[in-house]
Structure 1
């Protein structure tokens, strides 16, 4: 009998996107101390760190674009009783738990643990993250209330209207980059644009425009690196002007990566794919736990960065070690039903 089933399109490229985003996030946090040390370092020491920072800022937008691509492409009837516990709570509960965990970690100061320090972190946690990487959830969780409202609108809109909406969003990211005052410069609006862009690129083929995306994304990456380096040479200090998650340069790079990996991911050899899929599967857990392993690394008293002789070597080795340890801890937490929910 003939098989009339239509094969589902491969989503391996989504796993590739999660894979590279997880690596990029770890790298960004590993290089963090170098930003403060720029005035004290020779150019060949700060340039690798600043360059890595300049070419990695797409990581957070990619995570949001993936959410838009997958969650807003689900055309099943919306069911709040299913969505809230299966989608929202899956992110909200780990965030709340790790907020408390990192508050206790943050209470350990100057060789001793202080309840007062932990209590202060918890008291301020409704408005301030208890650890540096948790800022993401303050902007990401509200998007789960935007997704069910945006999705039906997008499917009813004509393609040209959607393109106009995306063009307006890109103009807004440029205004945000240039610090043009407007009431539209709100995080929920700027990050919602990534949801729509992820949905659009997921559902619309860009094969005819690959050269454009390659040239545009490559040019913006070079612009980020050269611009950041030029500013440091001129001012003698680090600048975050090229590092905004909601700025046009970052949006263009994230869009380009999404398109190019979607187009070329299937060329990746089969023998490499299990590794990519494994890291992708645990990417959320890696994001949550990897700062634990960077605590001694980022402590200047230990001088761990100096162990490797040069920043380029330190960044590679420490990033690989932090990624590996974070993966192992995430995997271990998933082994028990008591802790599995912490790293869904």
Structure 2
């Protein structure tokens, strides 16, 4: 199970009266944690997907890491919604919004689809997909692993002006109600295939390049609806505890799902599953609360911002770095060694951050990271 990242930026929620307004470093930190989670899912996912390793200690540790950070997808969408649905982002009208947003994402979509299709699939893997297969891959948003998320965020950009206008005219109450309804709708929709299968009637959800964004509209709206939440220290602790408990349940459920098929059917272990939805919302609120209370030095704030801003590039680059690592370390590619995978994780993460930061300073390259 692979979960990529979107091009998002932190938004600053209101802070207590005794604190000056400024960038919310809690969301910066959450964004960095989320991209670290994305890399972990792809690296340790090789062990999780190895049936011969299933059930042993190494497999359980890898599963705890992999499934324990599945919240990273909803969290990135929520951070994105908190910024993109702001009236200020749409003040110049839809045309200007589209120009700015798609000028950012389209070059990255084109460049990285070519890179992963030609360099990875064709040159490194030796694939020779025909025109028909390529067309299907593009329609299904499956040219390469996590690149489907670029189509997802493009879809959310497309509907953002409509959502922003609807929210602007309804106040905070409307935002919370519509976000809650949309999130519950997606949770319910993802329960349907499993329940139908248990009843002997298959009803799969089919998503492709043009509708893959739909299940995430609720998280997009929730980011805006929750942006002003600043919980008390006790509230932060409670939200953090709930997040840990529900993610532990996700790990346990994935590990025992062959024995409890009904549990997976009713409460699927997906980014839009009930447990992950709850955990993601709690982590988002924790980040808002901590960010409103943290005092970060100017130097520390600049470094955290740099890492946060580099996360989109890390998402795009890390899969290429991981492909190179797997070619030289068979134990990582085969998912047979937790130690080698842990080492690979550090190498991939550090290398991807370094390349993203450097590329962000180079003309033309910074347009695609």
TM exceeding 0.5: yes
Other-structure match for 1:3: none
Change (3 A) 1:196 1:306: closer
- Distance, in Å, in 2 between the alignment partners of 1:155 and 1:84 is 18
Q: Contact (CA 8 Å) 1:214, 1:260: kept in 2 or not?
A: yes
- Using the TM superposition, give the Cα deviation of residue 164 of structure 1 relative to its aligned residue in structure 2, in angstroms: 2.8
* 8 Å contact kept, 2:74–2:277: yes
1:259 has 2:279 as partner: no
Q: Which residue of 1 aligns with 2:111?
A: 97
Q: Note if 1:151 corresponds to 2:164.
A: yes
Whether 1:190 aligns to 2:215 is: yes
Shift of 1:248: 1.9
- Return the TM-score normalized by structure 2: 0.78
Q: After superposition, give the CA deviation of every residue in 1:262-290 in whole Å (9 maximum; x if it has no partner).
A: 11134376475454322212100000011
In 2, are the aligned partners of 1:19 and 1:280 still within 8 Å (CA)? yes
1:317 aligns with 2:332: no
Q: Indicate the larger mover: 257-266 or 16-25.
A: 257-266
Q: Is the 8 A contact 2:30 2:287 kept in 1?
A: yes
Q: How far is 1:133 from its partner? A: 1.1
Distance 1:277 1:163, change over 3 A: closer
Match of 2:318 in 1: 290
User: Does the CA contact (< 8 Å) of 1:176 and 1:247 recur in 2?
Assistant: no
Output the TM-score relative to the length of structure 1: 0.83
Which deviates further from its counterpart, 191-200 or 324-333? Answer: 324-333
1:297-312 matches, cutoff 5 A: 297-298=325-326, 302-305=329-332, 310-311=337-338
Which whole-Å deviations, capped at 9, do the CAs of 1:264-321 have from their partners, x for residues lacking one?
Answer: 134376475454322212100000011111114445x84233999951x334322221
For residue 62 of structure 1, report the CA deviation from its aligned partner.
Answer: 1.4
Q: How many Å separate the matches in 2 of 1:335 and 1:269?
A: 25
Maintained 8 Å contact 1:27/1:319? yes
Once the two structures are overlaid, the 10-residue window that deviates more, 196-205 or 253-262, is 196-205
- Find the residue that maps to 2:37 and give its secondary structure: helix
Q: CA deviation at 1:136?
A: 0.8
1:339 corresponds to 2:365: yes
Paired positions, count: 330
Larger mean CA deviation between 19-28 and 128-137 belongs to: 128-137
Does residue 72 of structure 2 align to residue 62 of structure 1?
A: no
Point out 4+ residue stretches in structure 1 off by more than 6 angstroms. Answer: 181-186, 306-309
- 1:30 aligns with 43
- The residue matched to 2:138 in structure 1 has which SS? coil
**Aligned residue runs from structure 1 range 43-82, under 5 A:** 43-75=56-88, 77-82=91-96
Q: Do the aligned residues in 1 keep the contact of 2:87 with 2:168 (CA within 8 Å)? A: no
Deviates more, 1:314-323 or 1:156-165: 156-165
Contact 2:176 2:226 in 1 (8 A): no
**Within 5 A, what are the aligned runs for 1:261-280?**
261-265=287-291, 266-267=293-294, 270=297, 273-280=301-308
Q: Counterparts in 2 of 1:159-308, with a 5 A limit?
A: 159-179=172-192, 187-207=212-232, 209-231=235-257, 234=259, 242-265=268-291, 266-267=293-294, 270=297, 273-298=301-326, 302-305=329-332
Residue matched to 2:199 = none
Distance in 1 (alpha carbons) for counterparts of 2:250 and 2:295: 28
Residues 104 and 118, structure 1, Cα contact 8 Å, conserved in 2: no
Contact 1:53–1:243 (CA<8 Å) still a contact in 2? no
- In the alignment, structure 1 segments of 5+ residues that lack a partner are 1-5
Deviates more, 1:23-32 or 1:81-90: 81-90
Rate the CA distance shift 1:100–1:77 in 2: closer, same or farther, 3 A: same
Deviation at residue 244 of structure 1 after TM alignment: 1.1
Check the 8 A contact 1:103/1:118 in 2, yes or no.
no
For residues 49 and 267 of structure 1, do their structure 2 counterparts lie closer, same or farther at Cα, with a shift above 3 Å needed? Answer: same
Alpha-carbon separation, structure 2, partners of 1:308 and 1:126: 28
User: Structure 2: which 5+ runs fail to align?
Assistant: 1-18, 197-202
Q: Distance in 1 between matches of 2:84 and 2:75?
A: 14
More displaced stretch, 247-256 vs 172-181: 172-181
